[in-house]
Structure 1
């Protein structure tokens, strides 16, 4: 059994069977609430009376919003402040370029009071000759440190004194080395700083994607108003009369938009011709993994899978 919170389509599995159904069900519906609340109070209200604060993943979603509000209305887009200074597992926490993942060791060596998002676009990290880390805007030019990783996971670091933006440094490291430096422990940190001249700084591979939806997903689709976001202290978002987004302070009360998502449950009966032991936990895990990969390749993100075997007569 699987349940999908967004939509589902044709499923064609390696196991040799196909399922087909409508591709646009279930639908999200949006509801404008005229009460004024802060972001977290609005989220609690939406979770109680609907499903969640509004998440907008496409222009199709925006077209389904209620008639244009006369005032700005909160949506479920947020940049959690607690993710600025921790290597957590949230979708907008700091992550490493080489893996696009969060730190496995959670090692860090931030300079005191860092990271502080001194500007709203301080989303990349530089290392000083003393080995401390600071967040900086990614368009600044810096020297940079690349890493080389061998098949035995042996790591070495190479300092490049030429100045590049963080993105240009990343491209160079990926072309000539493995990637921008990943620092996983104090030993890595010491080796990476060895060639940085005194008083200088260099990019490492740590970066952050600032905004995420309250359901945990990243906002790959955006519809920001021109010039927004533009503040390091405005970490929530509203939609305006043109359905464009603007960043605001989370403690400021606004009217808000909730979403209702209907859940669809489907049971599928399948007959297998196989010598495999379908009662085996390992076989069940592999089948569910194959099914999950296929569903995700179709763009489905919110579903659960459950396997049941009908007793033989």
Structure 2
């Protein structure tokens, strides 16, 4: 990070530059549902916002709108039972668990965390959590984060601000030199200067 900041600063640049980071934005249902209705969403305003690049699980408010949030938080959650006739029976569980713990509980005692396919099902779940704060549902996003050269993703330096993955299939990484070089994901179609590196020359270059 220090070498990247030095390279860009030496070129007299102080704003955002592309780095080789990218992430697929792939929302999935816990039960693997991918038929008609699998793309139904009821996001709250300005959601999902992928705050701190660390919000991969989805909750529903008592107003019935959705938001992405930190998977380790422990609210209540909604499971479903899938009948032989193909109908869903939703069940709110008042025990507080992380998203993964809630998924495990639903799979052990019911069918899975709630899959929401249309407005009617969303309203049904909303009625179950109307007396509470919010609850986990079964939607989540894979934490697919990669480097352009295929390097293993381990070190990170995310900005504490929000990202906006809602309409993107892939988010691409910028280092913001006005914020200490911290990273954000933005639309890959934006034109920005960028930083390359060369293994042969053992150095970085700013373009």
TM exceeding 0.5 = yes
Q: In 2 relative to 1, CA 174–112 (structure 1 residues): closer, same or farther, beyond 3 Å?
A: same
Q: In 2 relative to 1, CA 169–103 (structure 1 residues): closer, same or farther, beyond 3 Å?
A: farther
CA distance in 1, matches of 2:143, 2:17: 20
CA distance in 2, matches of 1:205, 1:229: 29
**2:104 is the alignment partner of 1:171:** yes
Structure 1 unaligned residues grouped into runs of 5+: 1-35, 40-73, 80-90, 239-245, 259-313
2:63 and 2:130 in contact (8 A); partners too: no
Query: Match of 1:192, SS?
Result: helix
1:93 and 1:102 in contact (8 A); partners too: no
Structure 2 unaligned residues grouped into runs of 5+: 1-10, 164-170, 176-180, 187-191, 200-207
CA distance in 1, matches of 2:143, 2:182: 12
Question: Which entry has the higher C-alpha Rg, 1 or 2?
Answer: 1
Q: 1:92: Cα distance to partner?
A: 2.7
Q: In 2 relative to 1, CA 102–126 (structure 1 residues): closer, same or farther, beyond 3 Å?
A: farther
Structure number with higher strand proportion: 2
1:236 to 168, 173, 178: 173
Q: In 2 relative to 1, CA 130–256 (structure 1 residues): closer, same or farther, beyond 3 Å?
A: same
CA distance in 1, matches of 2:136, 2:54: 15
RMSD: 3.5
Q: Please list the CA deviations of residues 161-198 of structure 1 after superposition, one character each: whole Å capped at 9, or x if unmatched.
A: 11101110011001111110000100110111222143
Q: 1:257: Cα distance to partner?
A: 6.7
Normalising by the residue count of structure 1, what TM-score does the alignment of the two structures yield? 0.45
**2:6 is the alignment partner of 1:78:** no
Normalising by the residue count of structure 2, what TM-score does the alignment of the two structures yield? 0.66
| Alignment of structure 1 residues 14-29 onto 2, 5 Å | none
Query: Match of 2:67, SS?
Result: strand
Q: In 2 relative to 1, CA 185–150 (structure 1 residues): closer, same or farther, beyond 3 Å?
A: same
1:183 and 1:189 in contact (8 A); partners too: yes
